Structure 1
Amino acid sequence: MTAVTKPEILDASLLAEIVDHLPAGVVAKNEDGSLLYANAAAWRSGLDAHIDDRVASPFGGDEVEAGGRTFLTLQDAIVCREQRLNLSVSIDITERKRIESQLLHRGHYDDLTGLPNRALFEQRVEQALAHSDAGFAFVVIDIDGFKQINDHYGRAAGDCFLVKASERMRRFLSDGDVLARAGGDEFLLMLHDEDFGRIDLLAETLKDPFIIDGFEIFSSASIGVARFPEHGLDYETLRRNADRAMDQVKRAAAGGAALFRQEWRETETERLHAEQRLRLAIKDRLFRCAFQPKVDIATEEVCGVEALVRLIGEDGEAHAPGSFIPLATELGLMDVVTHLIVQQATDSIDAITEAFGPQATISVNIPARQAADLDFMRSVADLLKQSGCPERFIVEVTEDAFLAKNRFQTQIVPMLRQIGVRVSIDDFGTGYSSLSALADITADELKVDRSFITKIHERPRSQIVLRAIESLGAALGMTVIAEGVESFEELLYLKSSTRIRHVQGYYYARPLLFDDPSPKRRASEGRSAPAGRAQHRGVANRRSR
């Protein structure tokens, strides 16, 4: 390198003063390492004595530790005034290194609990998969009811709970085990000894109360376990199978542990297919209304129909609600399904009138959760109003709807009544309403659950309960309807021993799709059919046996 001196451009003393004021440390040494020059920043940092104590930096240059601080040092050999020199320039990167260390820690550890995070846990599992000939357990731990803890006690208490829970879990770790927080209320654990007894003990320990801000907070954990290599040879497979085991614990009873079983994978596959079929059925509008008549047993006339949901399957058959309603509820799809059925019921008014006469009311079932949703019920009321004859409709809900913070009773019932829609308590006798709660209910109709009607003529205690319900309904001004009438003996008892006039059940008719030819048959027609048929406009009386 060629030395350059231009004193005519800049005075040497001024140049030295400028270099001395640089924030970067500048050090010049001769070839044998003797110090020739160090500016003020270098002297302050002690760089003159540490310039050779350097390590490679990933950012380029060398890292030098001096005086408890870290410097990024760039060095070069120069020729100045025909003398070979080693020149170094050092910048203090202590703060940057501190931030880098923090970012690296945050990239691998959870801020709240200090545990490894999901990414670091995956690295540790991958290392175990690559280097361990021994088996290990992959464990997924999900805290039960954590959302309720957060909602009730606040987020600060929720965070404190997670910290205490992680500390409790740490006590179960042995050498080589890894506990991580995957996020939220989920933890991951790798156990090298596969001791399932230790996992059971962990589940029991997490049921013990946590003392937070003076409150005793009870919780539990659902724990799923997959074993390597028995249940998977890679991270993703082990994770999925541990999740499947954890889901089984959630479904069975919160608080416990389960080891993965192969049949659960098959069950999950079947469930995924069922979910896909259900979503496609909604998209393709494969839900249909089947209408079951309500009959006035004094006149044998059809006084109304109940719209019951059916799913038309790939086989063309109409499937009952039990085959899809639980899954639709779990997936949060009941709003859509209920809306489709109410829409179909309003679209069927002309067909119902033609089949059963203009006096026939139309009942639609609304699940309790939807019935307590004011916005959803406004949309239902709008559909019924748009039908042009909302007064023909009855909204059927279970007792539970009236107990949902009283919203249904105080806000939704008045809204329905304002447009002429009546309200019915469905499946009465199977819910949880007390007599005091029932006294406040202003329904128009009370439907006695089929469990009280089945073989009523042979069950004296059920007869007593039925008479009490009948008297209660009459006292509260509600029309009482007996559901589930399937035999002539049941009907005969109702006629001879009660004042109940309205019934519904297979004895008169099964739920009927209007694309079937059967709705217009009279009661006296088709008597040889399995459960008989409802009469059309009540022209003929059912023959007695």
Structure 2
Amino acid sequence: MNGLRPNTPGLRSRVSDIDGVCPTTIGTTRFDPENGTLEFDARAREIFDAPVGRPGLEVWLERVHPEDLALVGTMYADCVESLGTECLYRIIVPDGRTRYILTRSMFIDRHHTTRPGVLTAIVLEVDPAVASDTVLTRVLDRVSLGFAVLDADMTLVYLNAQGENHLGVRRGEVLGRHVHDALPLTKGSFLDELHETALTARCPATLRTPSLYAPGRTVEVTANYVDGNVAFDFRDVTDQVEQTSRLIDSYRSILDRARYDDLTGVLGRATLLERLAGNLGESSASAALLFVDVDDFKTVNDTYGHAVGDLVLRTVAQRMVEHCGPFDVLGRIGGDEFIVGLFARPASGLRRAAEDVCSAIEADVRTPIAHGDHHIEVTVSVGVALTKGPTDLADLLADADADLYRKKRTLH
């Protein structure tokens, strides 16, 4: 099977040992999700009774049993992620007869962009005359999904080999018994809810949940209403869930790196301005903006080198953090310049609070920074702007910047 490629005509399966399945019953389909097309080979066309000239996807949608559409749709979605996905479903041909179809994904092309391309799958018709007996049992024992059937009273009427392996039981021990008696861990579990939902809504119900019988594993369970019974299929999705979790963690890490300044660890420029604008726009309360600039920073770089200059910026940022409250916003707007937004402070004492924070930052920054045999001394200048209500961020920044440079001119 590993050599199978698209357009493989008349693929034959060695299943003649199974009663009710002829050795030529396997056909192939090719599904292109991007273009929304489905192609049948000659045998698949016979199985689906598909007229020549009609779009394959249109015929397929007409043939699949309405109760199985969601199940098969889920299977095709899964095929994009993992080959070897299997599904047993029903189709209704034009004369009204029901056919049982077992399908399995075999090969998928990839576009040069790595997007999923054409999916090739095999389709096997199971003789409906014996589908509920020996043939179906043997076929389902070869399916990689766990499969079980409960009647309306929750009596176990079928369990395939994968189900036995997952549950750690043998069919002979559990069939004909109420599922709660045969498998005590199921009592009061998700199985009850899925069974009830499938019976009442008569539509598929799916969830992902920790396995009851395989600690540390995650299973995806789907319940389908079928002629008064509820058919459950379940598969181990632990690896997929863990991969998704890793991707989410990586995505969060990327977002964190985008939010924070790599050098100092405080907010980066874009996130800083976004947070300040949001706080100023959402609150009608007073606020203060501190524009902090490291004095004569170029001399530090020229004297000690850029590595020491980076150390100075990191240290200044960390010392500033110590004087910010839980609702304040601190970030590096660029170079040796930082912004502190002071929020959630009483309007009557806002100026005094801003001056206190300025004084504390200025005093803390003056503490010499040790580097090898050197003790680098730096100072900062701080411009202050106040607002008593909603204010445009650009205006407040301009006011703080103007105050900063007034103070710098005073120093010189």
Category of TM-score, reference length = shorter chain: 0.3 to 0.5
Bigger Rg, which one = 1
* Bigger relative contact order, structure 1 or 2 (CA pairs below 8 A, ≥6 apart): 2
